[in-house]
Chain A
Amino acid sequence: MSFEEWFPRLVQASLTTLYMVGVSTLLTVLFGLPLGVLLIVSDSKGLSPKPALNKILGVVVNLTRSLPFIILLVVLIPFTRWIAGTSIGPTAAIVPLTIAAVPFFARVTESALREVPSGLIEAAQAMGSSEWQIVSKVYIPEALPGLVLGVALTLINLLGYSAMAGAVGGGGLGDLAIRYGYQRFETEVMLVTVVLLVLFVQMVQSLGDRIAAKVSKR
């Protein structure tokens, strides 16, 4: 395959990957952050201990995390069809990607919030703050640097998962590398894809580090 042939495919695949990973990261934060907060708040030593709820959430999160993504992808096909109207293509792939990443990001959120010194929570309680005020004015702002790093980590994870999205016709860089680079022995395509993926990961990580350092006033 000549450069003229594979280059447009590469651009297309990159855009598809960015679309899948970008949208599923947004959705992951949207669902994973509250889930992580809930894990912290409902903990037996949390703001509003709810041991039963905490236990159930913990089990659900671990269950989802213990399934390999490729299996989750297949298991979720009916659910994906119900949500996205189809089970193939990049938009459909966003559903399993998000579902795989939400528990991960919830755990990341949980550990970032756990780093907030308990003294700060107590001070806020002593000032008569409500639980919501403690979450929105203490937990999240204080854990912000950790959360930013968590988002970067999630993005990188999702990039890895998205390579498997090809299995459901999701397309993207991973798919390109498998189909052209591996199955058709197009070494050039494989190399370029790998370089692109590495660059992307490096960029996300260093950007995450930089933003985290910028928002940290510690």
Chain B
Amino acid sequence: MIKLENVSKTFGRGVDEVHALHNISLDIGRGQIYGVVGASGAGKSTLIRCVNRLEEPDNGAVWVDGEEITALQGEGLRQARRKMGMIFQQFNLLSQRTCAENIAFPLEVAGVSKSNRKRRVQDLLTLVGLEDKARAYPAQLSGGQKQRVGIARAIANNPKVLLSDEATSALDPATTDSILELLKDLNQRLGLTILLITHQMEVVKKICDHAALLENGRLVESGSIANLISNPLSRLSRAFFPPIIEVPKDSTAVQAAITFIGGVADEPILAKLVRRFDVDVNILGGSIQEIGGKRVGQLQVEFKGDQMIATLEYLRGLGLRVEVSE
């Protein structure tokens, strides 16, 4: 649905030259919620802004729904932008317009008739749960309500794609959750493809099914959340879990972090293990969380015994991700 091919962008010249993006290629499928994570300054914002050409890429091509955005000019580009919604960290609502008028803005721009606008705005207000705020001005709304207006505005023209530029970064945790739920809901009900950038790992955990890590303008890793979690080398998935606690151990013991995903989490694996092998298992810590809609557990354990290698093999054979700490 969204495809980037070798997109590069450099700011400044000479000594001030900054490579904001370095040969970025991404392929985002229809209906996916794709999260791009990175520290500030990694180039996330530039990346998402290249998709609707708020930022002009120096090189490379961008396609949205089969249309090459980077080949468009003038009216063609404006038409294409009307098929993409965008929401922002600072909401960017017009302060002189009421909620209803803000939501009507993209409809006005697209030339929708007044009566149709009115009907559509009413539906959108209901969809985001702000029926009673139609006549309120943005200054009278809370951050979460403002972002709901922003979302309603972004999807007013029935776009297939929603770009979310740090949309929850200015919100408190509870409000962030409610906004993420709304996005997830829109994704499922309308089949909306969402590309979001964020520095909050929580956002990726809660709603993304795919993710990529951006570092100094380069895509360091990317893939489906399920694949990332089961890959012990993935830095993204490591960031999903609480850091492994350093516990002093004696030289004969092996410490390991075992990650369970989905169905395996329901099996009494440790009990089976102890019955099968001659090992003692000592649980050091653990957590269960929901990542990308799947239950994922992580256990930090200490093994003692003779059949260490066989034990680890057995666990890996079950499809578990096992990280042994040295």
* B is bound to A: yes
Say whether chain B's binding surface is mostly helix, strand, loop, or mixed: mixed
Q: Is the CB of A137 within 8 A of B108?
A: yes
- Residue A91 lies at the interface, judged by CB distance under 8 Å to chain B: no
Output the residue of A124, A128, A129, A138 with the most chain B CB within 10 A.
A128
Q: Is the CB of B109 within 8 A of A127?
A: yes
Q: Which of A70-78, A115-123, A157-165, A195-203 lies at the binding interface?
A: A115-123
* A126, A133, A144, A218: the one within 8 Å of B52 (CB): A126
Q: What's the Cα separation between A159 and B79 when bound, in Å?
A: 48
Residues in A whose Cβ lies below 8 Å from that of B96: 141-142, 144, 215-218
Report B40-64 residues with CB < 8 Å from chain A CB. 52, 54
Q: Is the CB of B92 within 8 A of A122?
A: yes
Q: Is the CB of A218 within 8 A of B105?
A: no
Say whether chain A's binding surface is mostly helix, strand, loop, or mixed: helix
Q: Is the CB of A217 within 8 A of B88?
A: no
- Of the four ranges (under 10, 10 to 19, 20 to 34, 35 or more), the interface on chain A belongs to 20 to 34
Residue interface mask B62-94, A partner, CB < 8 A = 1? 000000000000000111111010101010111
Residue interface mask A103-133, B partner, CB < 8 A = 1? 0000000000000010110111111111001
* B166 vs chain A, min Cβ distance (A): 12
Q: Is the CB of B92 within 8 A of A138?
A: no
Q: What's the Cα separation between A129 and B104 when bound, in Å?
A: 13
Number of interface residues of B (CB under 8 A): 29
* B282 vs chain A, min Cβ distance (A): 54
- Residue B292 lies at the interface, judged by CB distance under 8 Å to chain A: no
- Residue B269 lies at the interface, judged by CB distance under 8 Å to chain A: no
Q: Is the CB of A129 within 8 A of B88?
A: no
Residues in B whose Cβ lies below 8 Å from that of A141: 94, 96-97
Residues in B whose Cβ lies below 8 Å from that of A144: 96
* A6 vs chain B, min Cβ distance (A): 47
- Residue B95 lies at the interface, judged by CB distance under 8 Å to chain A: yes
Known contacts A142-B96, A218-B95; is-contact A123 B86 (Cβ 8 Å): yes
Q: Is the CB of B105 within 8 A of A137?
A: yes
Could you list which residues of chain B lie within 8 angstroms of chain A, going by C-beta atoms? 52, 54, 77-82, 84, 86, 88, 90, 92-97, 105-106, 108-110, 137-139, 153, 157, 163
- Report, nearest first, the 3 A-B pairs whose CB atoms are least far apart: A128-B82, A128-B81, A123-B92
